Amino acid sequence: MTLLVAGCDGGDEGREAAGRILFHSGREGNLDVYVMNADGSEQTPLTDNPADDFAPAWSPDGSRIAFTSMRDDNLEIYVMNADGSGQTRLTDNPAADLAPAWSPDGSRIAFESDRDGNLEIYVMRGDGSELTRLTDDPGADGSPAWSLDGLRIAFSSNRDGNAEIYVMSDDGTGQTRLTDNPAPDGAPVWSPDGSKIVFHTLREGNLDVYVMNADGSNQRRLTDNLAKDSSPVWSSDGSKVVFVSDRDGDDEIYIMDANGSGQTNLTSNPANDGWPAWSPGGPGG
């Protein structure tokens, strides 16, 4: 579902953040997973398959990447090494499985699936075993994102009539709404210190990136552009936010300071680039 903290103070402004950024791109005619440096240099494909590979997510130690692929004629979750080798399927179901998100200890992967008739959030072990459903609601639940302590999962749900941001315990209990707005809110991601959540919203008539405290308070806008700004993620140190924007005519990966300043295009390619993911450290960082 595409509609699906660390430092927001001025002291981080202009600071360079180290690491690498995963993203998917259609530049070769279909979606593949790419990686680049945090400054946009060395954009390198990790997958090369006639089917679409997209929605990449780093493992916490940076050694592996989970992603979604259509290579088996329906959406499944795959995993590969950080250099693109060892691509292995984790799910095998006639339904759509997508949007993987690793738990902070690397032992589990949350994802969304419609295998029970509508989109719900599931969790499985990192090897694809021990599948458990976390949500069970007539609405669509998706875009799971773990808190750094592994105890909570933020997600998007339209169970109350439009997409809002919710949070629950890692076992699916305590599901609580954080946003309450007539416009759709989606794609939540926790800050590295767990104090804030970035997300995108249509509340101003087009998609913009917002940030709020982890309890839903102090919601404020980070981007203000007539184009679509979406899919925000934090840098590993919380000083930057990477996001997708079509302000230059097609979807590109942008970076900005955590307070919304210094918005800069990283990709600049005629094809669409999307779904950024910042490396957490270790071999991938």
Residue 2 resides in a domain: no
Residue in this structure with the two tokens 């060892």, named with its chain if needed: 86
Mean pLDDT, range 176-187, rounded to an integer: 96
- Rounded Cα distance between 201 and 2, Å, is 11
Strand (E) or helix (H) holding 62: none
Residue that wins the pLDDT comparison between 6 and 127: 127
pLDDT in tens, 190-203: 999 999 999 999 99
**Contact assessment for residue 239 and residue 15, using Cβ atoms and an 8 Å cutoff:** yes
Instruction: Tell whether 254 is covered by a domain.
Output: yes
pLDDT in tens, 242-254: 999 999 999 999 9
Task: Look at residue 18 in the predicted model and tell me its pLDDT.
Answer: 65
Is-contact 135 157, C-beta < 8 A? yes
Torsion of CA 257, 259, 260, 266, to 10 degrees: 10
Averaged pLDDT, 199-223: 97
pTM value? 0.91
Residue 88 resides in a domain: yes
Residue at 250 is within a domain? yes
* Structural domain that includes position 90: 17-284
* pLDDT tens profile 11-28: 333 334 569 999 999 999
Instruction: Indicate whether 4 belongs to any domain.
Output: no
**CATH number where 124 lies:** 2.120.10.30
- For the residues 252-258, what does the mean pLDDT come to? 98
SS3 content of the chain, % helix, strand, coil (to 5): 0, 40, 55
Residue 235 tokens read as: 């840098």
Among 199, 132, 127, smallest CA distance to 169 is for 132
**First-residue to last-residue Cα distance in the chain:** 27
Least confident of 3-12, 66-75, 202-211: 3-12
Within-domain flag for 196: yes
Q: Does residue 11 lie within any of the structural domains?
A: no
pLDDT confidence of residue 281: 59
What percent of the chain lies above the pLDDT cut of 70? 92
Look at residue 181 and tell me whether its pLDDT is greater than 70.
yes
Give domain status of residue 266, yes or no.
yes
Looking at the structure of the chain, the number of domains it has is 1
Structure token digits, residue 282: 């270790």
